[in-house]
């Protein structure tokens, strides 16, 4: 049996409020706040990127796992904002953790589900006995085009999971992926910002794939919504996770601990993974957790985890997700935010 | 601006703070060296610098060299780490008014600079308040 | 070892010399020194220059400068020790004469800093620090000295006003120096209101970017009587090194290399610090002068700030420091500074310093340092 042996989260401390963005673009802040249940989002400092956040989140996962990094056999980073187009984030991460040279590394991309992709592959290698420990990180510093709806939610964060057979913090009981070809949200090479299909990203994209994956995994595992203590869905805005939860028959209280988006924003490849770290932070031995990601293009990865006794020993070994979310916040004005996010054109 | 090979050569120090401890007198050299500056001996064992320490001095740089211009103003400091090694790095995630001699800091992995938008990205260590 | 004398000095006005290239600045200055000495030939040249390569893309000064001085095939050496390149050139020239290797040696220093942008100059100056463990992290020279200041203020209670007083004193002196880059007075209030460069150092705590050169002619003391001007002897030369990185120092508020170099120079000269009538020291930043006065023994450790506040180092004080205006008012063309300090001391000891003359000046001392004190050169001079 394999599963999570360590987990860690990283959230930058800068924030920008919805009102601050709305006032610059003449948009109606209350409709974003009420309609999308968004209040503020995290913003990376200029010295933070997918790689730096992945390193810190992974160090926290290592603290909880208590293993020798040289025994990590696979290091995978899923993101849609890898710092290089060609040169992996994973090698910098593996080097920083001292997992090199005896390690396999790859970068993953699948819009917002690149993190759970990495998790799927790392877990599978451990289950197959091909590696002793596998590290999977979902991290992003994604951008929304200025003035676009996505600017209110595109945020930064990272979640790291170490997979192994022992010592388990959460056993992986089942996995299932639901994938179709779907042009709901994309970014062409050399384009700075992604584009999306507006309302097309809703029902036929997010909702279809999440319900497809959730129903698929529950059928495979012969489980129903009430069998789970917690469920985490991908969080592009505050409303969608509750809506899809309701559609599937889950209750609000199952969703709430992993629902971070209103204060965090959508951390893309980090979105459901950070929901999972937040849920693990408050879980108890025996708890059943369902996580269903969504990546445009499109697909959803679903996992069922069962928390072990060991959660009590490890949860306090590194900062908790909500601690990172709620403390040390540094609010930015739009001008500084635009400077940090390189939205201002400087002289060549 | 370090060239790719100059940057790469120091990676064990920049990413993992690998140092050399003199087998003769215990002095910790960061970066590792061939000759112990304290006793002149030539044998070292590999070690790693402690993660936490206290600031012994700092400043805020307001006129920066080219590759740091966009980050100005930024704080830098010298910290004496818990194993006695003194390290120079930027101090981030800390309001300038809160910088104090004696404050505790820990190491965090951050981006240091880049060789322009098309060049190699340089990573390394910075101090954050503990 | 033979005794060594200085028989000629040369320096032109320092500043942003747009019309003049490095080779022109050096040649004009060297000619002044040669004429001042009245020599008809030189046996060798030693020139200090920190970074002609980064500033003007020119190396091989050891060929260029004797060429443009019209003195090929005279042997020449260019020496580098960051901001103490000039002092090092003086020492190397001194050794060449003292050893008997050469008789008449031209010692010069030159730096042409304004052909690059401010950022590029900051970068070039930053190469005096540890590139991989200080420069890599965004440290600048003002930043490094600012950290020395913060520690000095924390440990010894040195105040912001005391730092400013160093700059005010040096401008007072510099206002009397027609060759200075900034020959005007400033006020403490003016310093405290000037723009921050690296907290707590402000622009008026910092020596400027300058183009300029300085030169002296050395010969064996026994030969000095042959020439025009009263000779001045170099009676002591000391040099010491310390770690390149500030963080590696045992005490970051104390400049050990200056302390050791001064001990050696004074010992060679058979003098104590109290015997010296004037000092030209390396005030690259106001805090540097404070630390140097302590390292030399002019002020007790930690008391350098009080010393300037109490007027100890004023032109008419017990230990006049930087009668020329120092690096702050005179300017700091890096490689030239160490030689210009010698030029000032010689003028003072000859009684040629005009309004800034220190009365009855018989003995002088120059202190030149590189980086944050990674190298120090100290020389002692006595009137014949």
Domains in chain B: boundaries: 4-129
Provide the 3-class DSSP secondary structure of residue C72.
coil
Kindly report, residue by residue over B66-111, the tens digit of the pLDDT.
889 899 999 999 999 999 999 999 999 999 999 999 999 999 999 9
Q: Measured between alpha carbons, how far apart are the two ends of chain B, in Å? A: 30
pTM of the model: 0.94
Distance between CA atoms of C32 and C20, rounded to whole angstroms? 16
**What mean pLDDT comes out for the span A77-94?**
97
Mutation test of the interface with chain B: which of A13, A15, A47, A343, choosing the one with the most B Cβ atoms within 10 A?
A47
Q: Output the pLDDT for position A132.
A: 98
Is C138 an 8 Å CB contact of chain B? Answer: yes
Q: Do residues C238 and C186 lie in contact, with contact meaning Cβ atoms separated by under 8 Å?
A: no
Cis peptide before B75 (omega within 30 of 0): no
Joined tokens for residue A25: 């673009």
Q: What is the dihedral of CA C48, C50, C54, C55, to 10 degrees?
A: -70
Nearest to A95 among B15, B110, B126 (CB): B15
Per-residue pLDDT reduced to its tens digit, A216-268: 999 999 999 999 999 999 999 999 999 999 999 999 999 999 999 999 999 99
Per DSSP, helices labelled H in chain A are: 18-25, 29-35, 50-65, 89-96, 114-127, 208-221, 239-248, 252-255, 261-264, 271-282, 311-314, 321-326, 334-340
Residue C160 pLDDT > 90: yes
Whether A348 shows a pLDDT value over 90: the answer reads no
Q: Of B76, B105, B86, B79, give the one whose Cα is nearest residue B19.
A: B86
The superfamily (CATH) of domain A172-311 is Thiolase/Chalcone synthase (3.40.47.10)
Of residues C152, C171, C282, C332, which has the active-site annotation? C332
Q: Which of B13, B59, B77, B84 to mutate to test the interface with C (most CBs of C within 10 A)?
A: B59
Other CB atoms within a 10 A radius of the CB of residue C282 amount to: 30
Contact status of C151 with chain B (Cβ, < 8 Å): yes
User: Distance between CA atoms of C338 and C328, rounded to whole angstroms?
Assistant: 14
**pLDDT recorded at residue C10:** 98
| Cα–Cα dist C2/C219, whole Å | 10
Selected catalytic residue, list C49, C83, C206, C219 = C83
| Paired strand residues for B78 | B57, B88
Closest A-chain CA to B107: A56
Burial of C39: CB neighbours in 10 Å, binned 0-12, 13-18, 19+: buried
Q: Write the pLDDT tens digit of every residue in C93-117.
A: 999 999 999 999 999 999 999 999 9
For chains B and C, CB pairs below 8 A equal: 107
Q: Sign of the CA dihedral C334, C335, C336, C338?
A: positive
Task: Compute the half-sphere exposure of residue A276: CA atoms within 13 Å on the CB side of its CA.
Answer: 36
B57 vs C137: CB contact, 8 Å cut-off?
no
The predicted model gives C31-48 an average pLDDT of 97
Band (C119; pLDDT cuts 50, 70, 90): confident
What are the pLDDT digits (tens) for B22-67? 999 999 999 999 999 999 999 999 999 999 999 999 999 999 988 8
The H-or-E segment that residue C379 falls in is strand C375-383
Provide mean pLDDT across the span C296-304.
97
* Catalytic entry in A80, A151, A196, A209: A80
Q: How far apart are CA C12 and CA C211, in angstroms?
A: 10
In terms of Cβ atoms closer than 10 Å to its own Cβ (0-12, 13-18, 19+), residue B5 is exposed
Question: In the prediction, which pLDDT does A320 show?
Answer: 98
- Calpha distance C151→C145 (Å, rounded): 10
What CA–CA distance (Å, rounded) separates C48 from C342?
Answer: 13
Q: Nearest by CB to B61, which of C119, C138, C252?
A: C138
User: Region A300-323: what's the mean pLDDT?
Assistant: 98
Q: Are C174 and C204 in contact (CB under 8 A)?
A: no
A80 labelled catalytic:
yes
CB A31 within 8 A of CB A152: no
Token pair 């028989």: residue: C7
Residue C316 DSSP symbol: T
**How is residue C297 annotated by DSSP?**
T
Q: Does C73 touch chain B (CB under 8 A)?
A: no
Under 8 Å between Cβ of A271 and A278: no
Query: CB count, 10 Å around CB of B84?
Result: 12
**Residues in chain A closer than 8 A to B52 (CB atoms):** none
**Three-class SS of residue B6?**
helix
- C137/B88 touch (CB, cutoff 8 Å), yes or no: yes
> DSSP character for C321?
B
* Subunit contact A51:B123, Cβ cutoff 8 A: yes
A124 falls in which pLDDT band (50, 70, 90)? very high
Work out the burial of residue A192: count CB atoms within 10 Å of its CB; fewer than 13 is exposed, 13-18 middle, 19 or more buried. exposed
Tens-place pLDDT, residues C71-93: 999 999 999 999 999 999 999 99
* Average pLDDT, rounded, for chain A: 96
How close is the nearest chain C Cα to the Cα of B54, in Å? 13
Q: Which residue of B has its CA nearest to C146?
A: B59
Instruction: Give whole-number Cα distances, A171 to A65, A159, A305, C189, in Å.
Output: 14, 18, 5, 69
Answer whether A95 touches B (CB < 8 Å): yes
- Chain B residue with minimum CA distance to C130: B88
Residue C227 has pLDDT above 90, yes or no: no
pLDDT score for A144: 86
Residue A239's nearest CA partner among A212, A254, A261, A258 is A261
Question: What pLDDT is stored for residue C229 in this prediction?
Answer: 83
- Closest chain B CA to residue A327: B93
According to DSSP, residue C195 is labeled P
Contact between chains at B59 and C143 (C-beta distance less than 8 A): yes
Which alpha helices (DSSP H) does chain C contain, by range? Answer: 22-37, 52-56, 61-68, 85-98, 118-126, 141-156, 160-174, 188-193, 256-269, 286-296, 304-309, 326-330, 334-350
State whether residue C126 sits within 8 Å of chain B by CB.
Answer: yes
Tens digit of each residue's pLDDT (9 = 90 or more) over C192-217: 999 999 999 999 999 999 999 999 99
Catalytic residue flag (residue C83): yes
Are chains A and C in touch, 3+ Cβ pairs below 8 Å? no
Q: Which domains does chain C have, with CATH numbers?
A: 4-117+210-226 (3.40.47.10), 129-207+236-383 (3.40.47.10)
Does residue C345 belong to the interface with chain B, where contact is any CB pair within 8 Å? Answer: no
Strand C363-370, strand C278-280: pairing? parallel
Q: What is the pLDDT of residue C296?
A: 98
Q: Which residue of C has its CA nearest to B6?
A: C132
- Asked whether C and B share 3 or more beta-carbon pairs under 8 angstroms, the answer is yes
Between vectors from CA A109 to CA A107 and to CA A111, what angle results, nearest 5°?
150
What pLDDT is attached to residue C231?
87
Q: How far is A171 from chain B (nearest CA, A)?
A: 30
Residues in chain C: 384
Interval A309-314 mean pLDDT: 98
Average pLDDT, chain C: 97
Interface test mutation site (partner B, options C138, C146, C254, max chain B beta carbons within 10 A) = C138
Of chain C, the percentage scoring pLDDT greater than 90 comes to 96
The CATH superfamily of A3-170+319-340 is: Thiolase/Chalcone synthase (3.40.47.10)
Question: Residue holding tokens 């005794």?
Answer: C3
Average pLDDT value for residue range A314-327: 98
> How does DSSP assign A64-97, residue by residue?
HHT--GGGEEEEEEE-S--S-SSS-HHHHHHHHT
pLDDT value of residue C280: 98
Domain ranges of chain A: 3-170+319-340, 172-311
Stretch 31-70 of chain A: residues touching chain B, C-beta under 8 Å: 45-49, 51-52, 55-56, 59
Q: Encode A247-274: b = buried (16+ Cβ within 10 Å), e = exposed.
A: ebebeeebbebbbbbbbbbbbbbbbbbb
How far A17 CA sits from the closest chain B CA (Å)? 19
Half-sphere exposure of A201 (CA within 13 A, CB side): 19
**Where are the strands (E) in A118-168, listed by range?**
133-141, 156-164
Tell me the fold of B4-129. Answer: OB fold (Dihydrolipoamide Acetyltransferase, E2P) (2.40.50)
Q: What is the pLDDT of residue A347?
A: 82
Query: Would you say A103 and A46 are in contact if contact means Cβ atoms under 8 Å apart?
Result: no
The mean pLDDT value for A265-281 works out to 98
For residue A83, name the pLDDT band (cuts at 50, 70, 90): very high
C-alpha A267/C-alpha A269 separation (Å) is 6
Q: Does C132 touch chain B (CB under 8 A)?
A: yes
Measuring CA to CA, which residue among A314, A59, C143, A131 is closest to residue B48? Answer: A59
Q: Which residue has the tokens 């900062």?
A: A319
Lowest mean pLDDT among A31-35, A52-56, A246-250: A31-35
Q: Characterize A198-226 residue by residue with b for buried, 16 or more Cβ atoms within 10 angstroms of its Cβ, and e for exposed.
A: eeebeeebbbbbbbbbbebbbeebebeee
Residue pLDDT, tens place only, C312-351: 999 999 999 999 999 999 999 999 999 999 999 999 999 9
**C-alpha distance from B16 to closest chain A C-alpha (Å):** 6
């Amino acid at each position: 049996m394999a599963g999570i042996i360590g987990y860690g989260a990283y959230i930058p401390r800068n924030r920008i409020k919805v009102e601050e963005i709305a006032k610059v673009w003449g948009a109606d802040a209350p409709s974003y706040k009420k309609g999308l249940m968004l209040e503020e989002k995290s913003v990376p400092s200029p010295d933070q990127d997918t790689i730096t956040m992945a390193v810190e989140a992974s160090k926290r996962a290592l603290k909880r796992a208590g293993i020798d990094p040289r025994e990590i056999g696979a290091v995978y980073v899923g993101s849609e904002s890898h710092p290089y187009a060609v040169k992996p984030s994973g090698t910098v991460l593996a080097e920083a953790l001292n997992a090199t040279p005896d390690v396999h590394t790859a970068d993953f991309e699948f819009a917002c589900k690149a993190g759970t992709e990495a998790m799927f592959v790392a877990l599978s290698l451990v289950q197959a006995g091909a590696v002793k420990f596998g590290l999977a990180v979902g991290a992003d510093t994604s951008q929304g085009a200025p003035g676009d709806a996505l600017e209110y939610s595109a945020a930064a964060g990272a979640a790291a999971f170490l997979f192994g057979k022992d010592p388990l913090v959460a056993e992986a009981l089942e996995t299932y992926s639901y994938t179709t070809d779907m042009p709901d949200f994309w970014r062409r090479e050399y384009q700075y910002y992604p584009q999306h299909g507006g309302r097309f990203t809703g029902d036929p994209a997010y909702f279809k794939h999440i319900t497809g994956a959730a129903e698929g995994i529950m059928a495979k595992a012969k489980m129903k919504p009430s069998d789970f203590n917690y469920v985490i869905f991908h969080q592009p805005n505050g409303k969608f996770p509750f809506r899809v939860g309701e559609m599937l028959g889950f209750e609000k209280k199952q969703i709430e601990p992993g629902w971070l988006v209103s204060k965090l924003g959508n951390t893309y490849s980090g979105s459901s993974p950070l929901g999972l770290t937040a849920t693990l932070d408050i879980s108890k031995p025996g708890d059943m957790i369902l996580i269903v990601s969504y990546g445009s293009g499109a697909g959803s990865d679903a996992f069922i985890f069962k928390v072990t006794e060991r959660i009590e020993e490890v949860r306090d070994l590194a900062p908790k997700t909500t601690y990172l979310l709620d403390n040390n916040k540094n609010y930015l004005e739009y001008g500084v935010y635009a400077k940090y996010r390189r939205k201002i054109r400087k002289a060549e | 601006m370090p060239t790719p090979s100059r940057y790469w050569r120091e990676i064990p120090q920049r990413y993992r703070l690998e140092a050399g401890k003199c087998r003769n007198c215990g002095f910790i050299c960061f970066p590792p060296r061939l000759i112990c500056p304290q006793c002149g001996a030539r044998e070292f064992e590999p070690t790693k610098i402690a993660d936490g320490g206290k600031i012994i001095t700092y400043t805020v740089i307001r006129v920066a060299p080219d590759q740091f211009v966009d980050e100005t103003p930024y704080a830098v400091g010298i910290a004496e780490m818990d194993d006695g090694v003194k390290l120079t790095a930027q101090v981030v995630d800390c309001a300038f008014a809160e910088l104090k001699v004696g404050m505790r800091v820990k190491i965090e992995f951050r981006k240091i600079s880049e060789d322009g938008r098309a060049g190699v990205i340089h990573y390394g260590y910075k101090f954050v308040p503990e | 070892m033979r005794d060594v004398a200085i028989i000629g000095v040369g320096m032109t006005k320092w500043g942003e010399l747009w019309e003049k290239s490095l080779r022109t600045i050096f040649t004009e200055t060297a000619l002044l020194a040669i004429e001042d000495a009245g020599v008809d030939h030189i046996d060798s040249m030693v020139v200090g220059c920190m970074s002609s390569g980064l500033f003007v893309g020119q190396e091989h000064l050891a060929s260029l400068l004797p060429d443009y001085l019209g003195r090929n095939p005279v042997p020449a050496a260019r020496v580098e020790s960051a901001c103490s390149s000039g002092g090092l050139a003086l020492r190397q020239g001194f050794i060449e004469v003292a050893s008997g290797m050469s008789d008449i040696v031209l010692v010069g220093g030159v730096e042409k800093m304004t052909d690059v942008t401010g950022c590029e100059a900051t970068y070039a100056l930053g190469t005096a620090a540890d590139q991989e463990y200080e420069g890599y992290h965004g440290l600048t020279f003002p930043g490094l000295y600012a950290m020395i200041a913060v520690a000095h203020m924390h440990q010894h209670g040195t105040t912001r006003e005391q730092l400013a007083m160093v700059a005010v004193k040096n401008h007072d002196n510099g206002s009397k120096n027609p060759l200075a880059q900034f020959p005007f007075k400033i006020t403490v209030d003016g310093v405290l209101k000037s723009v921050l460069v690296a907290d707590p150092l402000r622009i008026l705590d910092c020596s400027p970017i300058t183009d300029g050169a300085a030169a002296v002619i050395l010969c064996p003391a026994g030969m000095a009587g042959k020439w025009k001007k009263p000779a001045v002897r170099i009676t002591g030369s000391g040099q010491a090194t310390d770690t390149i990185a500030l963080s590696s120092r045992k005490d970051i508020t104390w400049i050990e290399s200056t302390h050791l170099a001064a001990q050696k120079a004074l010992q060679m000269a058979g003098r104590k610090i109290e015997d010296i009538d004037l000092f030209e020291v390396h005030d690259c930043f106001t805090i540097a002068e404070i630390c140097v006065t302590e390292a030399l023994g002019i002020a007790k450790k930690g008391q350098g700030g009080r010393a300037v506040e109490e007027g100890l180092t004023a032109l008419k004080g017990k230990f006049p420091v930087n009668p020329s205006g120092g690096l702050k008012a005179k300017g700091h063309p890096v490689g030239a500074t160490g030689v210009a300090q010698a030029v000032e001391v010689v003028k003072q000891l000859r009684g040629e310093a005009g309004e800034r003359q220190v009365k009855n000046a018989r003995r002088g001392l120059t202190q030149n340092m590189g980086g944050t004190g990674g190298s120090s050169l100290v020389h002692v001079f006595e009137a014949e």
